[in-house]
Amino acid sequence: MNNPETMALRCAGCGRSHALDELAWRCADCHGVLDLTGFTPAMPKAADLATRRPGLWRYAEALPIFEPPGITMGEGMTPLVTTPGQPVSD
Identify the three-state secondary structure at position 50: helix
Number of CB atoms found within 10 A of residue 11's CB: 20
Instruction: Give the integer Cα–Cα distance in Å for 35 and 18.
Output: 10
CB 1 within 8 A of CB 19: no
Instruction: Give the integer Cα–Cα distance in Å for 49 and 39.
Output: 21
CB 30 within 8 A of CB 11: yes
Nearer to Zn ion, 20 or 63 (CB): 20
- Least distance in Å: CB of 29 to Zn ion? 5
- Least distance in Å: CB of 22 to Zn ion? 13
Question: Near Zn ion by CB under 5 A, which window of 6-14, 50-58, 59-67, 81-89?
Answer: 6-14
- Least distance in Å: CB of 8 to Zn ion? 13
**What is the footprint of Zn ion within residues 11-70 (CB under 5 A)?**
11, 13-14, 16, 27, 29-30, 32
Give the binding site for Zn ion (CB under 5 A).
Answer: 11, 13-14, 16, 27, 29-30, 32
